[in-house]
Amino acid sequence: MTKEEIIELARQAGLHVATDVNWMPVIGLDYAKKLIESAAEKEREACAEMCKKHADVYGAFEPTPSFQAAWAACIDLRDQIRARGEA
């Protein structure tokens, strides 16, 4: 994640982040937890989307057992990544 994305997630979590990101404000546990959960969700979804893009590539080939297995593995990984956020 970029520094700007982290700052935006901090703002969404309710933190008022100074423009000098080298200054670390003291934050409550609830805000820290929300920020970490938001960042983890964003990363999980990015990984799930990458799996979906790979599945789309395999799905575009002529169906063979190898390509179908690769497609299924990508879809399974995508679903497992997303499920981690639901646990």
Task: Give the model confidence (pLDDT) of 34-86 as tens digits.
Answer: 888 888 899 999 999 999 999 999 999 998 999 999 999 999 999 999 999 88
For residues 87 and 84, what is the distance between their CA atoms, to the nearest angstrom? 5
Output the pLDDT for position 49: 96
For residues 85 and 33, what is the distance between their CA atoms, to the nearest angstrom? 14
More confident residue, 32 or 84: 84
Output the pLDDT for position 74: 96
Output the pLDDT for position 86: 82
Range of the domain at 52: 3-84
Helix (H) or strand (E) holding 32: helix 29-60
Of 21, 15, 27, the C-alpha closest to 3 is 21
Tokens of 49: 């989307």
Output the pLDDT for position 7: 74
